[in-house]
Chains A and B, each alone.
Chain A
Amino acid sequence: MNVAIKPHPHASHELGFIRRYIFSTDHKVIAKQYLGLSAVMAIIGGFSAYIIRWQLAWPETSVPGWGPIGPDQYNAIVTMHGTVMVFFVAMPFLLGGFGNYLIPLMVGADDMAFPRLNAMSFWTQLLASSVLIASMFAPEGPAASGWTAYTPLSDNPVYTGVYLGQDLWILASALEFGAFLMGGVNFITTALNLRAPGMTLMRLPLFVWMEITAAVVFLLSVGPLIAAAIMLLLDRRLGTSFFRPDKGGDPLLWEHLFWFFGHPEVYVVALPGFGIMLEVMPVFARKPIFGYKMIVYSTIAVGLLSFVVWAHHMFVSGMDPRLATPFSITTIMISVPFAIIVFAMIATLWRSSIRFTAPMLFAIGGLASFLIGGVTGIFLGSQASDIYMHGTYFVVAHFHYTMFPVTFFGGMAGLYFWFPKMFGRTMNETWGKIHFWFSFFLFNGVFIPLFLVGIGGQPRRIYELSSYDMFKPLQSLHVIATVCAIGLFLVQIPFVVNLFYSMVHGKVAEKNPWHSNTLEWTLDSPPHHLNFPTPPRVYRDPYEYSVPDLTEDWLPQDQPPAIPATSAAR
């Protein structure tokens, strides 16, 4: 009834290597392709971060492994770092990778609603990544106007000296939006229409709720930016005057249209990261999630409110000051539903018997770090303090404290947690814990100094500050940050070794190694093409742990309620 046409019957998927692993339409393979692509892009983004950090700590020296950095090149590298990390690492990792892998499994569907559209989404994303990498080899270098591409800096090539690079940047972003439009359509349709019998909306795992909300927020916010990107490209290539102040255009319009997308984008990345943490925590706390419905409603509230806060990025842009106060209020309002989600997480952990496995450590570490990012957001959300802090490193530290915990800690929690399901083997726990503790301390070591540097008033986006005497005392903090950053990159090496070693030699995983409830754990590890051999039926909520009077402390969602005394009613 709800599956229109099913082209692959179960018998006929004896596909060749290429159809199976490269041009596959299986959501699990596409998810792994997304994960791999984002890992490759993360190397580029990480290397650019290393160049930036080195330049800030020791400005007079040439960067080992790269060479001396000039101001133009510094701008270009900062631009690439931001673009790559937000659009080509965080989104493919959390949405393309985990969303693709888990949504069909968690709702009990055979595949995405539109498998071929899903494959097209990945290949478009690959094309977008290739265009972005190609732009780094453009004659005048890549785009150098920041990841926000503020006009008129990005509009008139005179300012940055970049012609082709900026056009390719626009093209790469446009392709990336196209890829995630296709992906988002798939996510929403799959999660709403292909749910297994009994999987009501209020029995969906929270990760699915977070992914749907993120997809809806993305789809509704990206439109104005697509319009703005078309206008920008026309300005650059056809001589139109949309954002050209000398021809009657208004550069502020770009900032509005960009941040109308750009701020919801933060939640597009943050919500799936939180979804992973919310899946991991009850499993290792052996307790039902606290306030499931409240979390769902808060998620929807975050999604709605995320559309009315964008101008807090523009308090110092010269926009009408009458807009500032309303946007301050909405910005502080949005922390209320988010705080509810955080409190629900803490309440889930409260008085539980926590098992500190690697995924749990990453989840808790991510939550703790995100709290710092959230609390410092209050300073930036209210206009009075933002005017002082906006141009400083405080903002840099703040948004790394929001994006990094959800992407890295959330993503790593997910990777350690679902690795047995994805590859049929378990990762080494000891190395996982080492990976966590070093990453956690080094990450804080990078960005706590930047808060201090920011409060000290040091402006961001400037490639060389050693010529200002007033910033001399802050230089040692930059050195600490850089040393920690280099350490953070080095700690990833044992992780990568562990990852690949475990794929081949890890302990073979059983169906449900973590004793978890959601539907994906009822399948073989890894699941076969067209996931469920028999269509699943769902009888209960996803987080029924430690139910009294049962011998086992978990109760899978598809287990029929055989004992009437422990009925699923809650």
Chain B
Amino acid sequence: MSETTTGAIDTRAESSLYMMIWAWLVFLLIAGLVIFVLPIPRTAAVIAIFSFAAIKAALVLRNYMHLKHEHLLIYLMVLVPALLFLGMALTLIPDIVYRHHFGLGQ
């Protein structure tokens, strides 16, 4: 996978990996839709659907965006914003969610 190699590379193994990942992505999509359609308790369904989404995102990030071959710094460039975003969402829960629930805002 070296970038500076000028000669042709045997990409068959690489391409079959990409097709495999694609098959997994489609499978997870369909699995999520099946869970959505079936009469499963809502909370469980939502958790399952979002877990599948997270797995799909991880598959794309690691393989298609080849994070698994990258320097730690580039890994951090995905992790830190993701953590910041989660942290921000959690911090705002008391403010945005509770105030509305208890009618404190208006």
Contact = CB atoms under 8 A, between A and B. Distances in A.
A511 interface: no
Interface string B83-95: 0100110011011
A192 B74 CA distance: 12
By DSSP majority rule, is chain B's interface helix, strand, loop, or mixed?
Answer: helix
Contact of B105 (A224, A252, A256, A311): A252
Given A245-B106, A320-B94, A220 B80 contact: yes
A347 interface: no
B88 A224 contact: yes
Contact of B92 (A245, A253, A318): A253
Nearest to A311: B91
A5 to B, nearest CB: 13
B96 to A, nearest CB: 6
B81 A320 contact: no
A224 B73 CA distance: 22
Contacts of B98: 320
A434 interface: no
Interface in A436-481: none
B68 interface: no
Interface residues of B, number: 16
B100 interface: yes
Nearest to A224: B88
A253 B96 contact: yes
A73 B6 CA distance: 65
A260 B106 CA distance: 24
A43 interface: no
B21 to A, nearest CB: 28
Contact of A323 (B80, B87, B88, B91): B91
A307 B73 CA distance: 19
Given A322-B94, A323-B95, A220 B105 contact: no
B99 interface: yes
B96 A307 contact: no
B88 A260 contact: yes
A192 B73 CA distance: 11
A320 B95 contact: yes
A223 interface: yes
A170 to B, nearest CB: 21
B81 A250 contact: no
Nearest to A250: B96
A231 to B, nearest CB: 13
Counting contact residues on chain A (CB < 8 A from B), the size range is 10 to 19
A223 B81 contact: yes
A471 to B, nearest CB: 32
A344 interface: no
A223 B99 CA distance: 25
A320 B80 contact: no
B94 A250 contact: no
Nearest to A252: B95
Interface string A260-282: 10000000000000000000000
A319 interface: yes
B91 A307 contact: no
Contacts of A322: 94
Contacts of A307: 84, 87
A424 to B, nearest CB: 38
A250 B98 CA distance: 12
Contacts of B92: 253, 256
Interface in A295-326: 307-308, 311, 318-320, 322-323
A224 B106 CA distance: 25
Contacts of B87: 307-308
Nearest to A307: B84
A336 to B, nearest CB: 20
B95 A256 contact: yes
Contact of B84 (A220, A245, A318, A320): A220
Contacts of B106: 245
Nearest to B100: A250
Contacts of B84: 220, 307
19 contacts: A192-B73, A220-B84, A224-B88, A250-B99, A252-B95, A252-B96, A252-B99, A252-B105, A253-B96, A256-B92, A260-B88, A308-B87, A311-B91, A319-B95, A320-B94, A320-B95, A320-B98, A322-B94, A323-B91
Ranked nearest first, the 9 interchain pairs of A and B with the lowest CB-CB distance are A320-B94, A320-B95, A319-B95, A322-B94, A256-B92, A250-B96, A323-B94, A253-B96, A252-B95
Given A252-B105, A253-B96, A256-B96, 8 more contacts: A245-B105, A250-B96, A252-B96, A253-B92, A256-B95, A307-B87, A320-B99, A322-B94
